[in-house]
Homo-oligomer: A and B are copies of this chain.
């Protein structure tokens, strides 16, 4: 294909990321621009040059105590058996902390050790040693000492030291201006009316805020259409008016990806494609003396590419070290496969379960922003490593404070909408706690408890033989483990159908016969097991269902798909249908139980969780949603 005069380029380079970075850092040579600003307003700014104290603190001999100033030599004979009387104004002066000690006084006696006889006279029973309780000049800050080197990021107390030494206006490095250019015909602003094919532009705002966090000054350009001449003009102007230019999307090798050609025309391209995923299709170049970074359109790729290349440029400009994330060692809950020859950046959930950190990968799809937002950590698989086995210990970069991870309750298993409510309520009671949930389905939930990777699993597994929920599964899979199966909700499962049920679905045979596009759940999900049971009872098989292989990971995702196709149907819980204004036809009353180890059940975290579940406020909130009944005064189910 050949659009608008630019040839499609199918292959990207696989340049090592560190090499690509070194090249642009070397090419980034701008003169240091400093600005003088009031010290009181310099929080978070980087010093442009070393700063020295202009005056000492204290700048005079100051009393370090409330008491009296004396001449030490005149107190040597004071003794318990020989109290010494001193006269105000002659032998002593009253001083408070911070008061100057005039010559010839050279010691301070604490007020607690002074016996006041009258307005003019005091008595002491202990001598003073010279210079006792007197702060020497410069005890804190000495005039001319270096307070901070260049490239120091100023913290609150640093500003105090600057003021105290009369550095009231200080040289800081100008914030580098980073112009961010979103491009794409499909882009619309977030408040636009959405239609098929229109994508909300939000990467630009994210970039701007990363740049702000890293110490730069972002300038977010308006959306630019995919017109080479327009893009060229905008790039040239940005290179003129900013220190770094970021252009979003068009960085790959697709039919509308002309960015690399344009940069090549008006500047130099150093790199097109790095050996790292996601984030591979990045462009690094220079227009005049300004670095241009072309970042891919998929959000996760974009944020990583920005961190790899724009953050170090800003740090170089500010003369500061590139901040690194703290790391911890984690046990991997699942196998992680990586491609040789390219680094892999895997977003991870980290749970603190049974005294160890266990990490599991989130989706690796570069288009899933939430995988970045929800990540606790980042596992960087080096280019020469093919991956890790389940149970391996690996180092991950932390994306949240460790404390937050340590205090989280790891919830897994089946998805239910009330879990969000539970999390929010827990956080209201205990701001330091929250629930982190992974929607993996009931069976995977049981397995996570078995492997010690989660604290709680929500499960709803109907045993076709006993017609009982959950018990037989737990007894079989967790035989010998001391677990608690806690009755939580009764909820309605049923057909989620387009509004008005246009096709007229009433039972599972309708789904097959009326050839609707079925939206299924992933293997191991309780809802899928229910659907398979319904199929079996009706004498049907997977082959009879269009879309059987189409797997969604939550009730809401099923409802969203049904919402987008009037010839579709799904199986799920009532509130998911209600949330999207869809029709719902009940099929079963389910028992959705919470499975946990006894030790968690009896722990502080467990106690907090149970307390909320049993609170009248929570029950009321859940039942307001509809389709739910919270189990009253539940007793753990017997697993004997």
Contacts and interface: CB of A to CB of B under 8 A. Distances in A.
Interface stretch (A60-68, A286-294, A442-450): A60-68
A100 B196 contact: yes
Contacts of A608: none
Contacts of A10: 111-112
B66 A142 contact: no
A183 interface: no
A547 interface: yes
Interface string A10-39: 100000000000000000000000000001
A161 B370 contact: yes
A227 interface: no
Interface string A72-101: 000000000000000000000010111110
A515 to B, nearest CB: 12
A226 to B, nearest CB: 10
Given A99-B197, A255-B66, A130 B550 contact: yes
Interface stretch (A421-429, A484-492, A598-606, A628-636): A421-429
A319 B427 contact: yes
Interface string A361-383: 00001011110110000000000
A199 B139 contact: no
Interface stretch (A207-215, A232-240, A350-358): A207-215
B434 A149 contact: yes
A212 B43 contact: yes
Contacts of A100: 196-197
B209 A156 contact: yes
Interface stretch (A334-342, A400-408, A457-465, A471-479): A400-408
A366 B479 CA distance: 60
A384 to B, nearest CB: 23
Contacts of A213: 43, 156
A57 interface: yes
Given A158-B373, A321-B407, A190 B164 contact: yes
B403 A138 contact: no
Contact of A369 (B1, B164, B207, B254): B164
Interface in A152-201: 155-161, 163-164, 166, 168, 186, 190-191, 194, 196-197, 199-201
Nearest to A254: B66
Contacts of A423: 146, 149
- Stoichiometry, copies per complex: 2
A320 interface: yes
Nearest to A371: B140
A163 B560 contact: no
Nearest to A226: B96
A367 B159 contact: no
A1 B563 contact: no
Nearest to A97: B254
A560 B424 contact: no
Given A202-B160, A431-B319, A138 B60 contact: no
B319 A150 contact: no
A481 interface: no
Interface string A95-113: 0111110110000000110
A98 B199 contact: yes
A502 interface: no
17 contacts: A1-B94, A10-B112, A40-B208, A50-B424, A57-B369, A64-B365, A64-B367, A97-B254, A111-B254, A137-B557, A139-B367, A142-B554, A147-B373, A159-B205, A160-B299, A166-B194, A323-B401
Interface of A: 1, 10, 39-40, 43, 50, 55-61, 64, 66, 94, 96-100, 102-103, 111-112, 116, 129-131, 135-147, 149-151, 155-161, 163-164, 166, 168, 186, 190-191, 194, 196-197, 199-203, 205-210, 212-213, 252, 254-256, 297, 299, 303, 315-316, 319-324, 326, 365, 367-370, 372-373, 401-404, 407, 420, 423-424, 427-428, 431-434, 547, 549-550, 552, 554, 556-557, 559-561, 563-565, 576, 579-580
Given A130-B550, A321-B407, 10 more contacts: A137-B564, A138-B561, A139-B365, A141-B369, A145-B420, A149-B420, A157-B206, A158-B373, A159-B206, A164-B202
Q: Which 6 A-B pairs have the closest CB atoms?
A: A321-B432, A156-B209, A138-B560, A146-B420, A163-B202, A144-B579
